[in-house]
Amino acid sequence: MSDPTQLTEIADSDAESGADDNERSAPKKWGIGFWIAVAWLTLVVALSALAPYLPFVDSPSEFPDLAAPSLEGPTADHWFGVNQNGDDLFSQVVNGARTSLIIGLSVMTLGFLIGGSLGLIAGFFRGKVDRVISAVVDILLAFPALVLALALIGILSGGDATLPVVILALSLLSVAPLARITRAATLSFAEREFVTAARTLGAKNGRIILREILPNVIPPMAAFALTVIALVIVAEGALAFLGLSVSSPAPTWGKLISEGRAEIEDHGHWALFPSGVMFLTILALNYMGDVLQSRGTVREGAL
Amino acid sequence: MKFVAVRAVQLVVVLVTATFFVFSLTFLADGDDAVVDSILQIEAGSETRRAEVEEGLNIDDPLPVRYVKWAGDAVTGDFGRSYVLGRDVSDLLVEPLKRTLALVVYAQIIAILLAVPAGIIAAYRANTWIDRGVSTGAIGLLAVPNYVMAIFLVFLFASTWKVFPGIVDSDLQIFDFKSYFLPSLSLALGQVAVYMRLLRTDMIATLQEDFIGMAKAKGLTTRSILFRHALRPSSLSLVTSVGLSTGALIGGTVIIEQIFAMPGMGTLVVRAIFQDDIFVIQAVVAVIAFAFVLINFLVDLFYAVLDPRIRSV
């Protein structure tokens, strides 16, 4: 799903809905699927945050453990089985989640800060500033971002990427969509009565943006951010597959899957478990994002 | 025709921005001297060749001037010489470009062929179990990264059933459909979900229009109503998305090519990245940007054909 166009579509649909958060209609049920998604993500986040303190998660090591059995399917000791070097795959998947989540969250944060600021400025001041920012955003949205990210990483680090370089390159994927969605939401609030009221009271632009508009545009951005995290996790996996992601002993999901691919016929568990965990995480993120976004739309429709 | 002109200008801006960005980066990242050094090192030329190499790179000019000279050559198809492989970059590009474009085209065709019937049936039977089944399947497909899909399909079709090759020939021909099947399908399935959801939404709206009621009243068959009357006005978002997603698909080909050992643009650029073959990196980005811009332009034109109202904008 490394697909920026999908983001564009979501951004467009959200631009129309303009999510209104002040008039809350009667609380609706979130649905069981939503809570399952929340539970799964909580589990993944908790495990990866607590990984160094958990007795059943080995820390990543650079050297193969020769005493351990190699390439064994799931057992009571090794829930996801063992890889060629005798590493416990469950531990690897948990440690991979750490890297993947750190990258996903950092890229999302960068997108929020840079894209969000650009969107707020464009949507609030409009006119020439808006035209310039929108043109840049359109260009970024239009271009094959993964190819640019690839070229950027390649040129900056030539196959030996560090975490900051990977994060920087992947933020090419998050800045533009978040700028667009923030701009759309800002546009829909900039003309509202409470903004006029604040201005009448003599509030300066900076204060209006930070205190009046920002709190209102954060919910649609947050719903969208989940989709961005999913996108980034997939993109990081793609980079790992090409050998261009973070080079360190710490595994990422993409790296685990690409290692397991070689043994897929005889020892399918190696690729299967990381793929499955990745699939469920992306599914959960997408689903939560969908639900949150559609609630924004429904509320608008109910007005 | 103002619409066409505005789009053309926009797309040229995209092209120039992207190529300038990558062009500058290739020099700024390591510094000019490092670039010259690595070229000399690989060519095993002595320091006497330094002046010649610097001359070829226009190293004394400021970056923008260098870019303009490079772009001037690039327009005529001259992307310089790959000092790693010792061949003209343009010669290296031709066959991989054909293969990659073929892969994208096949993937789009498969995606549309699967998405249109699925979207139509989901819209026609909206909010029934058929719709829910198709829509849930789409959400599931969206969560499978194309490389995971590729591994799974290779395992199934190549390793287990041995009906399609899991690795393609090193001189893959573009009409070798059997070899192209698995790579295209891996790329297509994620797109199916995107297209199907778009078409379903638009189709549901169209099916509530008066002219559909009219068609029903005339006693036309359901099939004729769905495919001949409702599909065309419902397909605008789909067409836009097909065009826009071409960029993402080109990004996706990089990794799919790697998995199937397909010698396309992606394989070329990944090799160039690892070997610091900067002319190849510049050229691949330029060609991908150009292909992408061209496709977008064509989609815009096609869009205007589908919906006459747009022509006057």
CB pairs under 8 A between A and B: 155
Which residues neighbour A273 within 8 Å (Cβ) at sequence distance 6 or greater? A80, A81, A89, A90, A93
B229-249: pLDDT as tens digits: 888 888 888 887 887 788 778
Amino acid in position A61: S
pLDDT of A22 > 50? The answer is: no
- In the DSSP assignment, the letter for residue B88 is E
A74-93: pLDDT as tens digits: 776 777 777 777 678 888 88
pLDDT value for B196: 94
Which chain A residues are Cβ-neighbours of B276 within 8 angstroms?
A: 158
pLDDT band, very low/low/confident/very high, at A11 (cuts 50, 70, 90): very low
pLDDT of B9 > 50? The answer is: yes
**Selected residue with higher pLDDT from B84 and B267:** B267
Contact yes or no for B231/B202 (Cβ under 8 A): no
pLDDT of A15 > 60? The answer is: no
pLDDT value for A28: 63
pLDDT value for B96: 92
Highest mean pLDDT among A181-185, B113-117, B304-308: B113-117
Contact yes or no for B100/B293 (Cβ under 8 A): no
- Nearest CA to A6 out of A295, A292, A299, A286 is that of A286
Mean pLDDT estimate for chain A: 79
pLDDT value for A116: 92
pLDDT of B204 > 70? The answer is: yes
- What residues pair up with A88 in beta bridges, in sequence order? A82
Average pLDDT over residues A114-118: 93
pLDDT band, very low/low/confident/very high, at A154 (cuts 50, 70, 90): confident
Minimal CA separation from A19 to chain B, in Å? 19
pLDDT value for A142: 65
pLDDT of B274 > 70? The answer is: yes
- pTM of the model as a whole: 0.83
Percent of chain B with pLDDT over 90: 29
Which chain B residues are Cβ-neighbours of A237 within 8 angstroms?
A: 145, 147
Contact yes or no for A242/A53 (Cβ under 8 A): no
Average pLDDT over residues A46-56: 83
Chain A residue with CA closest to B283: the answer is A151
Domain boundaries, chain B: 100-275
pLDDT band, very low/low/confident/very high, at A300 (cuts 50, 70, 90): very low
pLDDT value for A38: 92
Average pLDDT over residues B12-16: 83
Percent of chain A with pLDDT over 90: 17
H or E segment and range at residue B297: helix B278-306
pLDDT value for B160: 85
pLDDT band, very low/low/confident/very high, at A210 (cuts 50, 70, 90): confident
Residue in B152, B159, B254 closest to A147 by CB: B254
Percent of chain B with pLDDT over 70: 94
pLDDT value for A292: 84
Contact yes or no for A139/A220 (Cβ under 8 A): no
Contact yes or no for A270/A80 (Cβ under 8 A): no
A interface test, pick of B21, B100, B148 with most A CB neighbours within 10 Å: B148
Contact B248 A9 (CB under 8 A): no
Minimal CA separation from A3 to chain B, in Å? 5
A31: left (phi over 0), alpha (psi -120 to 50) or beta: left
Chain A residue with CA closest to B247: the answer is A144
A241-258: pLDDT as tens digits: 888 887 767 788 888 888
Contact B252 A279 (CB under 8 A): no
A262 close contact with B: CB closer than 8 A: no
- What residues pair up with B88 in beta bridges, in sequence order? B81
pLDDT of A2 > 50? The answer is: no
Average pLDDT over residues A278-302: 76
Architecture of domain B100-275: Orthogonal Bundle (1.10)
Residue in A147, A264, A265 closest to B251 by CB: A147
B45-74: pLDDT as tens digits: 566 777 777 777 777 888 888 899 888 888
pLDDT of A219 > 70? The answer is: yes
Contact A5 B145 (CB under 8 A): no
Residue in B10, B25, B152 closest to A152 by CB: B25
Which chain A residues are Cβ-neighbours of B146 within 8 angstroms?
A: 2
pLDDT value for A190: 83
pLDDT value for A156: 78
Contact A151 B281 (CB under 8 A): yes
Asked if the A103-188+216-303 domain carries CATH number 1.10.3720.10, the reply is: yes
A242 close contact with B: CB closer than 8 A: yes
A131 close contact with B: CB closer than 8 A: no
Task: Let me know the angle formed at the C-alpha of B107 by B102 and B108, rounded to the nearest 5 degrees.
Answer: 100
pLDDT value for B264: 92
Average pLDDT over residues B193-221: 90
pLDDT of A112 > 50? The answer is: yes
Angle between helix B2-28 and A127-142 (nearest 10): 70
Mean pLDDT estimate for chain B: 85
Which chain B residues are Cβ-neighbours of A7 within 8 angstroms?
A: none
Average pLDDT over residues A19-24: 44
Contact B194 A158 (CB under 8 A): no
Average pLDDT over residues A206-225: 86
pLDDT band, very low/low/confident/very high, at B189 (cuts 50, 70, 90): very high
pLDDT value for A16: 41
pLDDT band, very low/low/confident/very high, at B104 (cuts 50, 70, 90): very high
Which chain A residues are Cβ-neighbours of B270 within 8 angstroms?
A: 150, 242, 244
pLDDT value for B78: 87
